[in-house]
Amino acid sequence: MENTKFTVVAHGGAGSNSEHCDGTDEAVHACFKASQMDASLIHSVARAVCVLEDDGRFNAGAGAHPRENGRVEHDAAIMDSNGCFGAVAVLEGFNNPILTAEAVSETEYRLLAGKGAAEFARERKMAPTRHHTIPGGGKDFSTPPKTDTVGCVATDGATFVAALSTGGMAGAHYGRVGDVPIIGGGLYAGSKGAIAATGDGEGIMMKMTAYRAYQLIEQGGKPKEILEEVIGWFTPADAIGLILVTPKGLAGGSNRSMAWSSGEFY
């Protein structure tokens, strides 16, 4: 990656259909295009996540799975290697939760949840969704959909950024929050690289997955070896997927099917 100016990796979540990588391709290109229009790296990555949230085939934004009560609650987070972090949890009623997470990163706060997050999103004039209760709420989740969380990591050669957005676990208790807004759980970015995870949120956060993967980068690990090691921390019963970018290159993969794409732009 020595001469690479700009590297992006995007995923559509552990369990997403790998044939849907046209959606993750579009996200990668949206990230690069935003950067070409002078957006900051953090905003360029947020634009990529907006594409995935708007896609409708992934568990985030327009495609987010409802909770047991039929309502849709979003978690999202964004972090860069300059110490910027912002997240939302249990946010209802907005098209692109990642933009609210990005807006939180510009404040004195790091994580806003629930009604306070929604009020903040309204104050920031975020676009509302028309419906956030799924008709027929309280539906049968005995065989819940298993797709999970979208994400993007990128570097411009100087800064690293990681971002995630999710509707969370389909059919879970309302108010349940997974790994997505937990720094070092679902995502981490530092001067040596960026990681965005996807899969079973409780397991991901309890293993401090993203931060421990970052430590492997700091120890000089190669991206593909780190990916394999992290997947090995999980039993086959627990879904896990990861994308990462380091000065040594990039990797992506999951112990489930997963749409993911990368782009290196010179």
Kindly state the smallest distance separating residue 264's Cβ from ligand GLY, in Å.
Answer: 27
Closer CB to ligand GLY, 124 or 176, in the complex? 176
Cβ contacts of 194 within 8 Å, gap of 6 or more? 79, 81, 153, 154, 155, 160, 161, 162, 187, 188, 244, 245
| Mode of pairing for the β-strands spanning 111-113 and 85-91 | parallel
Kindly state the smallest distance separating residue 39's Cβ from ligand GLY, in Å.
Answer: 26
Nearest alpha carbon to residue 214 among 119, 67, 79: 79
Pick one of 166, 209, 246, 254: the residue that binds ligand GLY (CB under 6 A). 166
Nearest alpha carbon to residue 123 among 112, 133, 134: 112
Pick one of 60, 72, 121, 169: the residue that binds ligand GLY (CB under 6 A). 169
Nearest alpha carbon to residue 8 among 17, 204, 16, 39: 39
SS3 134: coil
149 is catalytic: yes
Q: Is the dihedral of CA 251, 13, 178, 131 positive or negative?
A: positive
For ligand GLY, which stretch binds (CB under 6 A), given 35-43, 62-70, 150-158, 162-170?
162-170
Q: Does 165 bind ligand GLY (CB under 6 A)?
A: no
Q: Does 198 bind ligand GLY (CB under 6 A)?
A: yes
Q: Does 49 bind ligand GLY (CB under 6 A)?
A: no
Catalytic residue among 24, 147, 149, 209: 149
Kindly state the smallest distance separating residue 86's Cβ from ligand GLY, in Å.
Answer: 17
Q: Does 35 bind ligand GLY (CB under 6 A)?
A: no
Whole-angstrom distance, CA of residue 194 vs CA of residue 251: 11
Residue type, 13: G
DSSP 8-class letter at 127: P
What is the footprint of ligand GLY within residues 123-152 (CB under 6 A)?
A: 148-149
Q: Which residue is nearest to ligand GLY (CB)?
A: 201
Closer CB to ligand GLY, 89 or 161, in the complex? 89
Q: Does 97 bind ligand GLY (CB under 6 A)?
A: no
Query: Could you list the residues that contact ligand GLY (CB under 6 A)?
Result: 148-149, 166, 168-169, 178-180, 198-199, 201, 204
Positions marked catalytic: 149
